[in-house]
Amino acid sequence: MAKTIETVEAALSGPTPGQVLRGRIFGHRGLMFGGVVLAAICIVALLAPVLAPHDPYSQNLLARMQPPVWFDKGTWDHPLGTDHLGRDYLSRLIYGARISLLIGGVAALISGLIGTLMGVAAGYFGGKVDTVVTFIINVRLAMPVVLVALAVVAVFGGSLQVVILVLGLLLWDRFAVVMRSSTQQLRSMEYVNAARAIGCSTSRIVFSEIMPNIVNSLIVVVTLEMAHAILLEAALSFLGLGVQPPTPSWGLMVAEGKKMLLFEPWLIAIPGVALFVLVLVINLLGDGLRDVSAPENRN
């Protein structure tokens, strides 16, 4: 019978959980691609002053709308050409990554804080707290985001801070919804009951029993909302009521290029593709993280 025990042990002693997780992360193409490209974009944004060939604000009216280098008249001096004011398009694109990442990141942070707080409170305490939070979530969902954001930015002026704050204060709904249901599920778990039974304080239960178990879904929502905030900022700026010129926001660049749509379509193609790629890799990262943290929920 010793042999049986050996075979059972051999069957059980597979790779360690850490190895399994690493295997899943590196084996997930979407996650790897998303992570690597996003990291690259972050590095480019951080090193913008070093990498950008020109000052993104300096105008040169003699060199307006030069085409990118792959067109006949393009030069390596301006690899992606220049815009209608003769500003270097590549430099504006690189600095624009800063704006998008900053807005996406900070807005997701603010909304994450608000939403998580509300969701965990509602899920943990239930009862009246839950009723109130659910009502607030419903009110928030009923507000037309784009319209309200536009109106509020119009009232307070389109500075970077205002845009970030408005988006942060508007986009917390998904955090609240997801965190509420995750916390509800956890609250009825045996180990949470056990912690309560041995007299742990509420804050201790929330921080050491609940938070570690919802952090996975939290990270996934962070990526989703970051992408959402980036797209919304671009839309607001495109409509002329977000970040104001001459800030190099990608949405604004598309709006400015729109006037030259007929003759110079690359002016909108370049920032548009940049936006698309950034949002795509963030989404891929989020989807990948969800697959890796809960492979049983795949599909």
Q: What residues does 82 pair with on adjacent strands?
A: 88
What are the structure tokens assigned to 40, written together?
């690259």
Contact 236, 242 (CB under 8 A): yes
132 contacts other proteins (rule: CB under 8 A)? no
Which region among 21-29, 62-70, 111-119, 255-263 touches other proteins (by CB under 8 A)? 255-263
> In angstroms, what CA-CA distances link 222 with 228, 275, 282?
10, 18, 10
How far apart are alpha carbons 264 and 223 in whole angstroms? 33
Among 61, 62, 147, 197, binds other proteins (CB under 8 A): 147
Contact between 260 and other proteins by CB under 8 A: the answer reads: no
Tokens (6 digits) for 179:
């965190």
Q: Concatenated DSSP letters for 86-104?
A: --BHHHHHHHHHHHHHHHH
The one among 22, 29, 204, 258 contacting other proteins by CB under 8 A: 258
Window of 39-47, 84-92, 202-210, 230-238 that interacts with other proteins by CB under 8 A: 230-238
Distance CA 255, CA 235 (A): 9
* Identity at 199, one-letter amino acid code: G
Joined together, the tokens standing for residue 256 give 């400015």
Interacting positions 6-45 with other proteins (CB under 8 A): 8
Helices (H), 172-265: 173-187, 190-197, 202-204, 211-238, 250-258
| Interface with other proteins, residue 299, by CB under 8 A | yes
294 contributes a contact to other proteins by CB under 8 A: no
Tell me how far, at minimum, the Cβ of 147 lies from other proteins, in Å. 6
Query: Quick check: 150 binds other proteins (CB under 8 A)?
Result: yes
Residues 226, 286: Cα–Cα separation, whole Å = 10
Nearer to other proteins, 50 or 155 (CB): 155
5 interacts with other proteins by CB under 8 A: yes
CB 285 within 8 A of CB 223: yes
Q: Of the listed pieces 4-12, 44-52, 83-91, 174-182, which binds other proteins according to CB under 8 A?
A: 4-12
CA nearest neighbour of 282 among 28, 22, 31:
31
Task: Using CB under 8 A, pick the residue from 62, 144, 199, 296 that binds other proteins.
Answer: 144
Q: Does 155 bind other proteins (CB under 8 A)?
A: yes
Stretch that binds other proteins, among 18-26, 77-85, 140-148, 174-182 (CB under 8 A): 140-148
Interface positions with other proteins (CB under 8 A)? 1, 3-5, 8, 135, 138-139, 141-148, 150-152, 154-156, 227, 231, 234-235, 238-241, 251, 254, 258, 261-262, 265, 268-269, 272, 275-277, 279-280, 283-284, 299
